[in-house]
Amino acid sequence: MIRVVLPFHLRNLARVESEVQVDVPAPVTIAAVLDALEARFPVLRGTIRDHVTLKRRPFIRFFVCKEDYSNEPPATPLPQAVVSGAEPFMVVGAIAGG
């Protein structure tokens, strides 16, 4: 099981209280985690990545083991700490302002 932490607005949309867990078949990649997340919570389709291109939305970031994976290719394998469930895959809403 992969642990996924969602930002507050997406937790509200998905109607979940805290982090969620999704089954992801090997190889565990960024795209595979997002596919599993959208399959379990269809209401999230189009909120994290574009419906057609499947590119990450501009104000969404991905963090894995305290590293920014936002600009990594979708086929990037995730570290063993995420695969084992020791560390979560974090979806973070960017904060803008001045």
Q: Domain limits at 79?
A: 2-93
pLDDT at 23 over 80: yes
Its sign, for the CA torsion 75, 79, 82, 85, is positive
Tokens of 32: 């595979």
Say how far apart CA 98 and CA 82 lie, in whole Å: 34
Q: Which residues on neighbouring strands pair with residue 10, listed in sequence order? A: none
Global pTM value: 0.92
Domain-located, residue 21: yes
Q: How many domains does the chain have?
A: 1
Mean pLDDT value across residues 8-22: 94
CATH number at residue 12: 3.10.20.30
**Residues 55-89: tens digit of each pLDDT:** 999 999 999 999 999 999 999 999 999 999 999 99
Domain-located, residue 98: no
pLDDT of residue 98: 60
